């Protein structure tokens, strides 16, 4: 039997195959539009952006291109720390929330662009920036092209946040609801592909301990429901019991969830 050599492995192809097997398949702009408001609500108080920005160490003079910016999880706090943020996303609803929040906070140095990963960015007025960022947003068929594109548009650094294992999904909840969870490719594909591309990437990890508490058990359960499509009444019931079993009540009568698996993101960066 012929032995497989490291150089024979096509990490881009493995990534594509792993994506095909994912339980939660990639979504188009309409799906992200529908998820925009709840995504914003879930992420507005998350420790994620603080931890990401701490690793990034932004400089006042930087221009940043934030690809798959969502409702501005990073674009909004970064705008106060850098010269300019260009926020790009294919979901108009995500961009609308970002724009509304920027107006509310009187932030004037963010420009938004309704573009997808595969659009011709140059034609959409996008030029190279000091730093390109793709945070939790490399939802593409061709990972190599996306990494090459980010590198081409960066003058100083390229930064991505990629899932570690199940990422924000809770495998215990899937087990109890009775559904199979196939999480698709995680950061290890990206790291290996970058190595094959001759890029020496550095890596750190962002664990997201849930520090949020919810005013009611129902809201704590709601913070889990986004993980599943079309829950039946029976599945919903099982999910509720599970969330209840990992929830404690604070002295103020609020509900805190304690997950067995801490959702973790890989923070990967390199110089172009
Ligand atoms: C999980 S959210 C991440 C948002 C933000 N970067 C963060 O870390 O909170 C993923 C975002 O990527 C966007 N997205 C997904 N696929 C995309 C594509 N092909 N082109 C542009 N944006 C895309 C979605 O609309 C969504 O706003």
pLDDT digits (tens, 9 = 90+) for 132-155: 999 999 989 899 999 999 999 999
46 close to ligand 1 (CB < 6 Angstrom): no
Atom 12 in ligand 1: residue holding the nearest Cα: 68
43 lines ligand 1 (CB under 6 A): yes
Structural domains for the chain: 6-169+181-210+262-270 (3.40.50.150)
Whether 49 lines ligand 1, by a CB cut-off of 6 Å, is no
Residue burial 57-66, b: 16+ Cβ < 10 Å; e: rest: ebeeebbbbb
pLDDT at 103 > cutoff 80: yes
Tokens of 138: 């490399």
pLDDT of 1: 67
Residue with tokens 């809770």: 170
Check if 137 has its Cβ closer than 6 Å to any atom of ligand 1. Answer: yes
Of the residues 47, 69, 137, which should be mutated to test ligand 1's pocket, given the most ligand atoms within 8 Å of the CB?
Answer: 137
Question: Distance, CA 42 to ligand 1 centroid (Å)?
Answer: 15
Question: 73 CB less than 6 Å from ligand 1?
Answer: yes
Q: Which atom of ligand 1 is nearest to the CA of 66?
A: 6
Higher pLDDT, 43 or 77: 77
Residue 156: predicted pLDDT: 98
The residue whose C-alpha atom lies closest to atom 26 belonging to ligand 1 is 70
What percent of the chain is modeled with pLDDT above 90? 70
Distance CA 241, CA 175 (A): 13
Q: The whole model's pTM is what?
A: 0.93
Alpha helix ranges (H) inside the chain: 11-20, 29-43, 48-56, 75-79, 92-104, 143-152, 171-177, 187-196, 217-225, 233-245
Decide: 117 in ligand 1 pocket, CB within 6 A. yes
Mean pLDDT of the region 94-110: 98
Residue 257 to residue 214: CA distance in whole angstroms: 9
For a mutational test of ligand 1's pocket, the pick from 41, 136, 139, i.e. the residue with the most ligand atoms closer than 8 A to its C-beta, is 139
Which residues does 43 contact at the CB level (< 8 Å), separation at least 6? Answer: 49, 70, 71, 73
pLDDT band, residue 204 (cuts 50/70/90): very high
- State which of 46, 89, 132 you would mutate to test the pocket of ligand 1, scoring each by most atoms of that ligand within 8 A of its C-beta: 89
Check if 68 has its Cβ closer than 6 Å to any atom of ligand 1: yes
Q: How far is the CA of 89 from the centre of ligand 1 (A)?
A: 6
- Residue of minimum CA distance from atom 13 in ligand 1: 68
């Amino acid at each position: 039997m012929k032995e497989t050599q490291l150089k024979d492995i096509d990490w881009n192809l493995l990534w594509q195959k792993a994506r095909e097997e994912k339980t939660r398949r990639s979504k188009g702009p309409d799906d992200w539009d529908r998820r925009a408001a709840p995504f914003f609500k879930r992420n507005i108080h998350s420790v994620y952006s603080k931890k990401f920005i701490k690793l990034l160490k932004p400089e006042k003079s930087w221009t940043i291109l934030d690809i798959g910016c969502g409702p501005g999880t990073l674009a909004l706090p970064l705008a106060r720390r850098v010269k300019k943020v260009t926020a790009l996303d294919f979901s108009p609803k995500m961009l609308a929330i970002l724009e509304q929040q920027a107006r509310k906070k009187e932030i004037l140095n963010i420009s938004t662009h309704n573009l997808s990963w595969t659009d011709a960015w140059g034609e959409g007025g996008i030029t190279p920036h000091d730093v390109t960022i793709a945070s939790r947003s490399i939802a593409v068929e061709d990972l190599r092209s996306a990494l090459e594109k980010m590198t081409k548009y960066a003058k100083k650094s390229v930064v991505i946040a990629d899932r570690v294992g199940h990422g924000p999904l809770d495998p215990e909840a899937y087990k109890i609801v009775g559904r199979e969870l196939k999480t698709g490719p995680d950061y290890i594909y990206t790291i290996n592909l970058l190595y094959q591309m001759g890029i020496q990437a550095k890596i750190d990890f962002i664990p997201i301990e849930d520090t949020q508490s919810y005013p009611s058990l129902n809201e704590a359960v709601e913070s889990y429901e986004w993980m599943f499509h079309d829950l039946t009444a029976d599945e919903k019931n099982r999910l509720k019991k599970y969330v209840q079993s990992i929830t404690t009540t604070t002295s103020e009568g609020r509900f805190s969830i304690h997950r067995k698996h801490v959702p973790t993101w890989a923070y990967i960066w390199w110089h172009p």
